[in-house]
Structure 1
Amino acid sequence: MSELRYVYAVCGALEAPLAADLSGVGGAAPRLLRHAGLTAVVGHVPAEEFSETALRRNLENLDWLADTARAHQAVIAALASVTSPLPLRLATVFRDDSGVRAMLETEQERFRTSLERIRDRVEWGVKVFVEDQPKESPAPADSGTGPRERISAQALGAGSGRDYLRRRRAEREGRDQIWRKAETFAQELHDRLAERSVETRVHPPQNPELAKTSGRNVLNGAYLVPRAESEAFVELVDATKDEQPGLRVELTGPWAAYSFSTPPEEREDPAEPTAGGAS
């Protein structure tokens, strides 16, 4: 069975060895391939799973995709503990070592520029959610049977209808007010975090069903922060968590600089949207 080369990341002149027990995609231990002053972190994977045709099929298999993503992330996380790796896209595959060297040769200028941008920096993720509001129980139906009861029921029904519409209008206005406050809070938080960051990105809001989380996502931000200033960044986020009732602030990281691996001028979203307005 032939093997292909799976490339996890590119680093500078990495001297630290990888952990002996580190395993990557397909259970294979990654190794270092050096060329042009750069280091590619490479694993051997079977062609029957990672050839162009097989990848098209496997990338639609959610279980396979989740297993591959976890193994990929495990290697990147191990690298991030000893250096500032430049993560490559999931399932970046070459035919052999020569293909990897050719990639390093061709892309060396871009890689060096990106590695300099993320050197000694990590990515933190900050999300703001509007907590789900409890739903009001429907009003009980009328049950009058006699003539007087029917007249009273009609009058009560008219009053109840007006009350119901007033309640619905008040609920809508309340939700609109909560949403406006959430957008204002998210934008102000993003601005404060941006002051502590070298670079920021605002990703589209998370789909709650896909993310399997509660609440409506109003900020999904990524922040590139110097390692030495990460503690202050985390403290700033923690200090905001109870500022607004009904809102939830989540912090994740530190990660390798996934959101910043591509130079700003090469991104599909160079004009970054404001918090709350991402789409």
Structure 2
Amino acid sequence: MKIAILDQKVRKNLALFKHLVKQQQRKKERFYQVAKKIYHAYVNRHTGELQFAELEKKELPESDWKSIVIQLRPTEDSQTFEVLSEENEGCFEWKEFDPEAYALLSKTIHILNQLAYDPKMGKNPLWVLRHVAHLEFELTDEENGKRSLIHGAWHSVNRYEAEHLLKGRPIGTYLFRKDEVAELLEETLNELFSFPITCITLTYSDWDEKVCEKTLVYKNGSWLIYDDDPTLRGPTCPTVKELLQTLGDQIQSPLLR
């Protein structure tokens, strides 16, 4: 399922939870038969940003972070995500949180519950977790709702079809897609890092009608060109547009849909 989340902070919370569920899936055989329904987390008292105990290895200061429990529990006709106090797994008090933090976490849980609701399948917690694990985010400009560069030049095609689209185009014409290399790299990197990684393919026309490709990696709010270094220590840029500018004349014009 694909959803568009315009609020970057909400999207980050959801992406991190999806990352946790998928990591559990990779680590355990028959994951959905033994999957956890309780998730120990930390919420920032000022921003509402989430971190999960299973992913975050460093100690977080109690002055800024509060320990909570996110639980998936059954109701009469579905499964519901709810936030509990870690101390007694009872009602959660919001008095010590800024209004912004309360609003952000409320939005995050609300969207999770929208994903969990289904008249036929919603009663099955395994279906809910599978739904979360396979969630996809639309590649949109989250800050102002306008169509982003990636979204505009995204083509769901294979290599052969990409070459056909770029045939006869000026040098430097490019498009975005996701090939098997990007898919495998994304899966590998997500096993190594505690935060979600996204990989996409940049396909562009070069000299002598040659079509070339590079894999772009998105991590923690920045982009880089993958250079066979799994530590991802290469130079980064805050936006794809700025990253493409580092390639100079190789990249000129997007092939828009």
TM-score (norm 2): 0.21
Tell which has more relative contact order, 1 or 2 (C-alpha 8 A, sep 6+).
1
**TM-score, scaled relative to structure 1:** 0.20
